[in-house]
Amino acid sequence: MKAILALEDGNVYRGISFGAYGERYGEVVFNTSITGYQEILTDPSYKGQIVAMTYPLIGNYGINDEDVESRKPFVEGFVVKEYSKIASNWRSRQTLDEYLKQNGIVGIEGVDTRSLTLHIRQAGAMKAVISTTDTDEESLVAKAKASAGLIGRDLVREVTPEKPYEWNRNGALNVVVLDCGAKFNIMRELAKNNCKVTVVPATATAKEILSLKPNGLMLSNGPGDPAALPYIVETTRDLIGKVPIFGICLGHQMLGQAFGGKTFKLNFGHHGGNQPVKDLKTGKVAISVQNHGFCVDIDTLNKKEIEITHINLNDQTLEGMRHKKLPIFSVQFHPEACPGPKDAEYLFGKFVEMMKRNRYAQA
């Protein structure tokens, strides 16, 4: 069956359908990762987005039960140059096609993803529609133009859990994760660092979080426009100075706003496993996984209180910061992911040491 990807600026890409049939809308972005398509599909930060993979062959190792990063896939659509009909891996349980069908995700193959990627780099990420039901190009372009987009949308409420739950019950330190669309590996890394982990919805108040008597708070990643989340910013602001905080991706953006900074939309975002990030203190460069379309504006932060710790070497945007007096730090990239493979894993150890120092100081 044929499928069409239509962009709001009038560009149209025809291909072959795989996965579910139907029509889906979202902002189209490209991801430069060579592997990890299962983790990408299940990253809640991709809610509201159609993902195009720059690597030309996708699906060759199938889908397994271990590499999911959330309860289900959240991408709106999936675009590849070539979908591998054969899945060969000892952990594989089903094909990518079967997995997309099972979860209602529309896929399209046969697209010139090099051309699409270059177009997005030049024109920017934009609204799009992917369809197997409508073959009228003008109709699809009009639908893409009329779709919601990401700016001003609160997509966190569509991915956050309905109620709190325990990830694991044992650990020397009690960590609360404010789940704005958290990837499972964040909780895995905390548990590996001897932390008891409790996950709460993004709508949890500061009072509710403090009632759990946490040694630390993790502000997670998540989808959409950070400027559309004043309730999370307010909660974050209320917790500053009351508990050690570590923010990742959207959590970093929540802290930036809580400190008085502002966010802006990047032209085509950072999506992939090869983003170079420089630690300004050590001079070391980490190869990081990133997935974000918005960024904290460095110039809007109060440098008397906030120290810039990491910078993106591709475009010099903010990748990390810390409070100069309080036990709070954050990064825009994903230290729980493993592109380096362990370039940024040390940040979880840093969070643990920060919580220990704070606990001893209060004793």
Catalytic residues: 249, 334, 336
Helix (H) or strand (E) holding 58: strand 57-58
Q: Return the SS3 of 30.
A: strand
Q: Are 7 and 126 in contact (CB under 8 A)?
A: yes
Q: Enumerate residues 6+ apart whose C-beta is below 8 A from 118.
A: none
Q: Distance (Å, rounded) from C-alpha 335 to C-alpha 112?
A: 32
Q: Which residue has the tokens 């990063």?
A: 69
Q: Distance (Å, rounded) from C-alpha 44 to C-alpha 34?
A: 20
What are the φ/ψ torsions at residue 224 (nearest 5 degrees)? 85, -165
Q: Which residue has the tokens 């709508």?
A: 203
Q: Enumerate residues 6+ apart whose C-beta is below 8 A from 275.
A: 287, 288, 289, 290, 312, 314, 333
Q: Distance (Å, rounded) from C-alpha 3 to C-alpha 24?
A: 11
- Per DSSP, 11 falls in state -
Q: Distance (Å, rounded) from C-alpha 355 to C-alpha 357?
A: 6
